[in-house]
């Protein structure tokens, strides 16, 4: 069978693949600790579930307008005004099947064959492949652990060309947990002011910050970029709603309209009754979000403490999201069962096969020599999994 070049040019999502492998092992009765997927372990808040059940009961089970019902779009607009100081009209908002879908539609709407999109490394695994699926070329801007994984304005400037159609910003970052400061965002904004590309800010981890800072995105420091900035967000991480598939994008009307056409001809609306649940989440206050953030913070501190005591594993302070992105380059030359570990990919394999703990290697995030551990799991699992990682480190010679 002929498979398209587009499909052949991309990889399965490594985060989802490792999670699936760990789940399959658990299903076989193997006691695997999974630090794979970035997925909160908490249940979706009760009032959100109730709203979906009520909507199904009331027969709210038909197609809706492609970008979401007006009530949902108004709730999203109100959220942006209340929490982010950003004003959007209903027509500047599209609700999507997860934030992933918003990003996908955005790249489809912006990128032509050969166009370039700037992606900051370490990056979330799906950005480069989504750009490729749209026919574009991801252009990677490297950052260093020493700089807190924050890109320098000069590095962004050097990557911009006359083919650059978009740049993707993600703070708090998956996988690094970096939270970009106001100064860093202002520096990047100054560079982008000199170019006409679209800016995509992926704010999905906005509520998960542990440094005491208030969340800001590029529009809070450079409102003049509003006409060419797309804000992407969703409820997967903040309201523990990964399986519901609810996200959105807010931005300039022409871009939202183009994304809507693409969505019209592909998925149509996101699930009708999920929209009612999303309204309940967006209008019901953030007390439940804050309770989860406090729990994540306890886990973050525990993981940092454990890694600090493991020779050869360096984990920079985690500012946000729920990932520890640990530098394991010092472990790679060491030997396990008579052979050099060699790479982060092999290290993750050994951890899964011999120590029954699933982590994601750094390479798929554009950061070989690192490993990502999601701490969106119970303290009990964290203790068990980190004990196993420690045994692995001790087994190296």
Using CB under 6 A as the binding rule, whether residue 137 contacts ligand GLU is answered as no
Q: Which does 13 bind (CB under 5 to 8 A by kind): ligand GLU, ligand PMP, none?
A: ligand GLU
Using CB under 6 A as the binding rule, whether residue 330 contacts ligand GLU is answered as no
Q: Which does 203 bind (CB under 5 to 8 A by kind): ligand GLU, ligand PMP, none?
A: none
CB of 267 to ligand PMP, least distance (A): 13
Using CB under 6 A as the binding rule, whether residue 238 contacts ligand GLU is answered as no
CA 235 from chain centre, in angstroms, equals: 12
Nearest CB to ligand GLU, comparing residues 33 and 77 = 33
Using CB under 6 A as the binding rule, whether residue 122 contacts ligand PMP is answered as no
Using CB under 6 A as the binding rule, whether residue 11 contacts ligand GLU is answered as no
Residues of span 208-247 touching ligand PMP by CB under 6 A: 234, 236, 242, 247
For 252, the enclosing helix (H) or strand (E) is: none
Nearest CB to ligand PMP, comparing residues 93 and 396 = 93
Nearest CB to ligand GLU, comparing residues 130 and 165 = 130
Dihedral over Cα of 338, 340, 341, 346: its sign: negative
CB of 204 to ligand PMP, least distance (A): 4
Q: Which does 125 bind (CB under 5 to 8 A by kind): ligand PMP, ligand GLU, none?
A: ligand GLU
What backbone phi and psi angles, to 5 degrees, belong to 30? -90, 135
CA-based angle 234:238:243, to the nearest 5? 65
Q: What are 323's two structure tokens?
A: 């990932």
- Residue of closest CB approach to ligand PMP: 98
CB of 234 to ligand GLU, least distance (A): 10
Instruction: Mark 159-198 with x for binding to ligand PMP (rule: CB under 6 A) and - for no binding.
Output: -----------x---x------------------------
Rounded CA gap, 173 and 16, in Å?
18
Q: Which does 343 bind (CB under 5 to 8 A by kind): ligand GLU, ligand PMP, none?
A: none
Rounded CA gap, 131 and 128, in Å?
5
Peptide bond between residue 122 and the one before it cis (omega within 30 degrees of 0)? yes
Residue 157's alpha-carbon distances to 118, 143, 160, 167, 191, in angstroms, are: 10, 14, 5, 11, 6
Instruction: Mark 97-136 with x for binding to ligand GLU (rule: CB under 6 A) and - for no binding.
Output: ---x-----------------------xxx----------
CB of 205 to ligand PMP, least distance (A): 7
Residue 317's alpha-carbon distances to 12, 106, 307, in angstroms, are: 30, 32, 11
Residues 6+ positions from 393 with CB-CB distance below 8 Å: 310, 311, 312, 313, 331
**Applying CB under 6 A, which of residues 10, 13, 83, 181 lies at the interface with ligand GLU?**
13
Pair type for strands 116-121 and 137-142? parallel
Return the range that interacts with ligand PMP (CB under 6 A); candidates 61-69, 98-106, 189-197, 272-280: 98-106
CA-based angle 321:327:328, to the nearest 5? 130
Using CB under 6 A as the binding rule, whether residue 124 contacts ligand PMP is answered as yes
**Applying CB under 6 A, which of residues 33, 35, 38, 120 lies at the interface with ligand GLU?**
38
Rounded CA gap, 357 and 379, in Å?
15
Across the chain, the runs of DSSP E, i.e. the strands, are 33-34, 93-96, 116-121, 137-142, 164-169, 198-202, 229-234, 247-250, 314-315, 323-327, 335-336, 339-340, 357-358, 360-361, 370-374
**Interaction site with ligand GLU (CB under 6 A):** 13, 15-16, 37-39, 100, 124-126, 174
């Amino acid at each position: 069978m002929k498979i398209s070049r587009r499909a052949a040019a991309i990889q399965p999502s490594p985060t989802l693949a490792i999670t699936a492998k760990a789940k399959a092992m658990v299903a076989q009765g193997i006691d695997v600790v999974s630090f794979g997927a970035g997925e909160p372990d908490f249940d979706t808040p009760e009032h959100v579930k109730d709203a979906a059940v009520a909507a199904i009961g009331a027969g709210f089970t038909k197609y809706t307008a492609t970008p979401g019902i007006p009530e949902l779009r108004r709730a999203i607009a109100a959220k942006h005004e209340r929490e982010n100081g950003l004003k959007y009209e209903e027509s500047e908002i599209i609700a999507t099947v997860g934030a992933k879908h918003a990003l996908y539609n955005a790249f489809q709407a912006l990128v032509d064959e050969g166009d370039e999109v700037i992606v900051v490394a370490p990056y979330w695994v799906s950005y480069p492949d989504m750009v490729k699926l749209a026919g574009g070329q991801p252009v990677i801007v490297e950052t260093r652990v020493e700089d807190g994984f924050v890109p320098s304005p000069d590095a962004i400037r050097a990557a911009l060309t006359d083919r650059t159609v978009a740049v993707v910003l993600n703070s708090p970052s998956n996988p690094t947990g970096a939270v970009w400061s106001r100064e860093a965002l202002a520096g990047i904004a100054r560079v982008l002011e000199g170019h006409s590309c679209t800016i995509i800010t992926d704010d999905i981890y906005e509520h998960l910050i542990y440094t005491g800072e208030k969340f800001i995105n590029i529009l809070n420091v450079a409102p003049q970029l509003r006409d060419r900035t797309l804000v992407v967000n969703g409820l997967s991480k903040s309201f523990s709603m990964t399986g519901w598939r609810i996200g959105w994008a807010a931005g300039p009307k022409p871009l939202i309209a183009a994304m809507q056409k693409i969505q019209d001809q592909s998925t149509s609306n996101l699930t009708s009754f999920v929209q009612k649940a999303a309204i309940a989440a967006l209008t019901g206050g953030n007390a439940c979000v804050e309770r989860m953030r406090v729990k994540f913070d306890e886990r973050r501190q525990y993981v940092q403490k454990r890694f600090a005591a493991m020779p050869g594993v360096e984990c920079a302070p985690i500012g946000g999201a729920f990932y520890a992105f640990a530098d394991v380059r010092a472990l790679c030359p060491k030997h396990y069962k008579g052979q050099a570990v060699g790479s982060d990919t092999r290290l993750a394999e050994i951890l899964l096969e011999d120590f029954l703990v699933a982590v994601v290697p750094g390479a798929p995030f554009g950061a070989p020599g690192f490993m990502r551990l999601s701490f969106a799991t119970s303290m009990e699992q964290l203790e068990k999994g980190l004990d196993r990682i420690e045994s692995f480190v001790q087994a190296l010679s």
